[in-house]
Amino acid sequence: MKLNYSPLARATDREILRLAWPCIMESLFATLVGFIDTAMVGSLGAHATAAIGAVSAFTWFNHSLISMVGVGGTAIVARLVGAREMDEAEKISGQVFWMALLLSLFQFVFVQTCAPMVPALLQADPSLHHDSAMYLRCLSFGFLINHTGQSLGGLLRGAGDTKTTMVSGMIANIANMVLNFFMIYESRMITVLGVTIPMWGMGLGVMGAAIASAVANSLAGSFVILRMLGKKARIRLRVCKLSELKFDVWKRVLRIGAPAAVERCAVNVGQMVFSAMISSIGVTAIAAHTLAIQIEGLGYMPAYGFATAATAMVGQRLGAGDRDGASYAGKRAAKLALGLLVLVGIGTFSLSHQLIALFTPDPDVRLVGAMLVRICSFEQPFNAINSVFSGALQGAGDTRKPMVYSFASMWCVRILMAYIFGVLLDLGVGAIWWCMVADLGCRALLFTRRFYKGQWADIKV
């Protein structure tokens, strides 16, 4: 792809990369540690991998629900920062803190209550139900601090600080990897540099992986909260008293964030149905699906970084009254992301067997997983466009139309087609994954059309 490197393009690209690279590094680190995490669980066998994979879509659903606070707050803060109204932006942070805290408390109670029913609802094999429910319950203990910190981290990104969340992500992933090492495995002998030594372990298996994640996520959330309480934060956290809660601000945040959360929840409910179709095929299929999803994350890593940059730049430039600059920044971010994700797609297609072999010794899972990795390599260009323009529209506060687009594409393209080809025609897990590619392609077209029409620039936040 030929880029026009005019002075404006160079300046815009530098700003995009300044904001994007910490997010890319955060995602890269998360992906690499996620690979190690998955490999650790995968070494216990296909049953352990499938137990986590069977409820992974439900965990995404919980993250989507909390996003209504982060997305709405980020769009408002980005506008205020662009207009140089920093005091008002910091007042928003206190309201977002309480909104996130109360919502995450509700999520914790909900998961503790409903966890035993989730695996059955997702059509998981009965042999997985106990471990899957236990995994969800243990994982939910990290919601309160992690989800609150996650929402506040969105405000920092909207203000142009992407490094704090990068560091918090690194803390979480290092802690998760170390804790996994001691919690998943039993006490054993290990050899380091030719020396065999005893290594203590708790031998908790799937439960150990969940506890490790809960503790690590809580550490990450604590870091963001403490950072925002400090004097050097780009946006300081001013925790107001309960008597000072401003419900007009809550409505303002939810007016923007609720459609985005509904969009993500609808997509994730669709992903739960999608996973249930795969789970019904068998343990090998869901294990291969879970591992291939991890490798698919190689594309979401740069897409997330450029989407975050687009969110911040579009919001800030609209706040400064620069409509043309906001449009130009969104388009440049999309071009850069597209070029990079084409390369990612080529790489994952070429190395599909080697990548899947990192996670499991099971030959059947390797065979199916490699096929799924090759299929998902074709979605990477669509993922670039979809992610960046979605992020740009969120930065402008345009969340209602994208909600409709994502809902329609997920259910009318991915789910309907997957049911026809994967269930009725019984063409297997590969056919189901091609329906996922078609869904992302459809969404990419819809988001591109929405952004280029430019109506988002007139939305009030």
- Is pLDDT at 54 greater than 80 in this prediction? no
* Interior angle at CA 11, CA 8 and CA 17, nearest 5: 135
Q: pLDDT by residue (tens digit) across 393-419?
A: 999 999 999 999 999 999 999 999 999
Q: How far apart are CA 151 and CA 97, in angstroms?
A: 8
Decide if pLDDT at 222 tops 80. Answer: yes
d(CA 210, CA 411): 30
pTM of the model: 0.81
Q: Nearest 10 degrees: CA dihedral of 433, 438, 441, 442?
A: -140
Write the pLDDT tens digit of every residue in 161-220. 999 999 998 898 889 888 988 888 887 777 766 777 777 778 788 888 889 989 999 999
Residue 459 CA to residue 71 CA, distance in Å, equals: 15
For the stretch 99-149, pLDDT in tens is: 999 999 999 999 999 888 888 887 777 888 888 888 889 989 999 999 999
Give residue-wise pLDDT tens across range 28-38: 776 665 566 66
CA angle 345, 410, 78 (to 5 degrees): 75
Task: Say if CB 433 and CB 418 are below 8 A apart.
Answer: no
Cα angle for residues 411, 414, 417 (degrees, 5° grid)? 100
In one-letter notation, the amino acid at residue 363 is P
